[in-house]
Amino acid sequence: MAVRRVRLLLAVIAVWVLASWYYSWQPPSGGSGPRRPAQGPGGRIPPDLAGTEGIKWEKQPPQHPVDTFATLPAKKPTKPIPRIQAARPRENTAGKELRLRRLAAIEDSFKHSWNGYKKYAWGHDEIKPVTGTYKDPFGGWAATLVDSLDSLWLIGMKEDFELAVKACDDIDFSTTEARDINIFETTIRYLGGFLAAYELSEQQYPSLLSKAIEVADLVMSAFDTPNRMPVTRFPWKEYVKGQPQRARSHVLLAEIGSLGLELTKLSQLTNDMMYFDAAQRIYDGLENDQKTTVLPGMWPVIVDASKSPIKSTGDGFTLGGLSDSTYEYLGKQYLLLGGALDQPRKMYEGFIEVAKKHLLRRVLNPDNLPLLFFGDARVVNAPTGEKQVVTTPVAQHLTCFAGGMVGMAAKIFDRPADLHVAEQLTDGCAWSYNATVSGIGPEIFHFIPCDPDPAKDDCQWSEERWVGALTKYWGQGTKGEKLSDEHLQNIIETKRLPRGMVEVDDRRYILRPEAIESVFYMWRMTGNTKFMDQAWAMFEAVEKWTRSKYASAALDDVTLERPNQVDSMESFWLAETLKYFYLIFADWELANLDKWVLNTEAHPFRRADA
């Protein structure tokens, strides 16, 4: 088959790099255990030793103390933040019965996975859902247990919630087998999990705040650098030994720009400004850099955190993996502070039009639906020597959060036209599910972009455009000849390409939440029942293929009629994915978006203006 082998190689390398950087945080010696209760529900979680050295983390005297902390904004906004949620939709008796049946099915799915974790992986980070064993990729601090706390509360599983809260008392955050601690993951999963559970339960369980402070003090150790920027992959043993620290020159944007909500919330709860100060220094650095990048308004995937202030160094731009939650947190930080700080709004408005111009593309699809995706962009040197922005029409499941982000910003920042953009982004991700035979969208795929200007391109499907897009992507034959219809059909069949996709770069489904996340936001913001229908179609497909004997499992290839299960269930399955499904069919007021703001792990924090 005549294809561009170089392009294939580059795609493989790109996926490998993405997976290496973003999806995994494996300790030097990842463990797995027997298919039996590791400690038993309610049993004590034994502390680990940090390898053979037996070193424990403890807070050291600061090498770079802060003289004066930034404080939470005290001024009141001139006008209240506009409402996010629509009025409660009307519901007849039959509609309510249907909604409650679907809610019960989602609750059953949650309990199945939670009970598997409780029985076979209690006290460990994740259950391995196919074999009933466990693994510890997030420090070995019971990630699934902590990440699931607020879900247990929202679903009404109070007995299990209290069991989990008690077990959290025994988690020892002073030690881990991991060489480096991922500050981003530790913040969004552990710190976020404790804070949300503490607030949702009306502060009835003081131990949750104590554990949050324990995690936060560990996180704050990574900020003890000359410019007070964090070491995002924190070599904690070096810190304990008193070795000097310096923020890295190559840092992922998402990992440094997505700590603000959690640290700010902790300052709100404790009145200790140390945490908010750390977050605000990052925001100030990003704001200072925003207009000086090679694509002014946006930040590249890689930034230099060792500089004072932060300085962008990369030329690749995306709203997907490696960058996503930095953009997501701008509107959410504004909400958490009750609109008292205008900086997040200005930063959001500074990037969104740039992203719409250079990354946002209409999507050619067989149903001629008005769909949008954010692709990726790179700034290159044109033959004339000028800078040129090259857009790649590649969609990521991770980017599917953007529908919710754009829609929420449309509401709170008075950008009504963007609500239509948000709907088409959300519909685009729903289409990616409908397009596959399994009913589940792939991790990464290339779509067919239409010209951004509707006057130049009606974006109407035809077999000719479909064939032309395949030919353009896959290149020419070995002698430069146009690919024959037989060659193209062979590509479609062997690669199992859904109509409208020219390549499926990463065929996995790892139980990700981003598509259903945006469906949840659009449902709450519009009350349009089409989003309930989208959610149920997604859930049925996901539940059908991922449910395993012990929990729910990731899938290797959603383009197969019967995808194979992978022995992995990340904690966000219970923390995010099933929570979003549940909230769509639960009572309209549960986790009301005019009272709560959800972090990137779907942990709800009470808004300052609530």
Q: Using one digit for the tens of pLDDT, what is the confidence trace for 164-177?
A: 999 999 999 999 99
Identify the H or E element spanning 523: helix 514-526
Q: Are 284 and 213 in contact (CB under 8 A)?
A: no
Tell me the per-residue pLDDT of 131-147, one tens digit each, with 9 for 90 and over.
999 999 999 999 999 99
Tokens of 595: 């009272």
Reported as a single tens digit per residue, the pLDDT across 335-378 is: 999 999 999 999 999 999 999 999 999 999 999 999 999 999 99
Report residue 516 as tokens: 């259903």
Give, in degrees to the nearest 5, the angle at Cα 267 between 265 and 271.
135
Residues in the chain with pLDDT values less than 70: 1-53, 476-480
Q: Are 186 and 599 in contact (CB under 8 A)?
A: no
Asked whether the beta carbons of 485 and 546 are under 8 A apart, the reply is: no
Phi, psi at residue 232, to the nearest 5°? -70, -30
Instruction: Tell me how far apart the alpha carbons of residues 397 and 513 are, in angstroms, rounded to a whole number.
Output: 9
How many CB atoms neighbour CB 234 within 10 A?
A: 23
The helix (H) or strand (E) run that includes residue 210 is helix 206-221
Task: Give the pLDDT confidence score for residue 166 in this predicted structure.
Answer: 98
Q: How far apart are CA 143 and CA 124, in angstroms?
A: 7
pLDDT on residue 478: 58
pTM as predicted = 0.92
Cα four-point dihedral sign 216, 222, 224, 225: negative
**Residue 53 has what pLDDT?**
64
Percent share of the chain, pLDDT over 90: 88
Report CA 572 to chain centroid distance, whole Å.
9
End-to-end CA distance of the chain: 61
pLDDT at residue 75 in the model: 85
**From CA 368, how far away is CA 528, in angstroms rounded?**
21
Cα separation, 591 vs 155, in Å, equals 11
- What is the distance between the alpha carbons of residues 285 and 305, in angstroms, rounded to a whole number? 9
Q: How many CB atoms lie within 10 A of CB 533?
A: 12
d(CA 320, CA 317): 9
Cβ atoms of 376 and 423 within 8 Å: the answer is: no
Q: Count CB atoms within 10 A of the CB of residue 100.
A: 12
The pair of structure tokens assigned to 253 is 């944007």
**CA atoms of 332 and 327, how far apart (whole Å):** 9
For residues 123 and 45, is the Cβ–Cβ distance under 8 A?
Answer: yes
- Closest Cα to residue 222, out of 182, 188, 269? 182
**Secondary structure of 291-344 in the HEC alphabet?**
CCCCCCCCCCCEEECCCCCCEECCCEECCCCCCHHHHHHHHHHHHHCCCCCCHH
Q: What is the helix (H) or strand (E) element at residue 135, kind and residue range?
A: strand 133-135
Residue written as tokens 């430069």?
480
- Confidence at residue 317, expressed as pLDDT on a 0 to 100 scale: 98
Give the SS3 label for residue 200.
helix
The pLDDT value recorded for residue 104 is 98
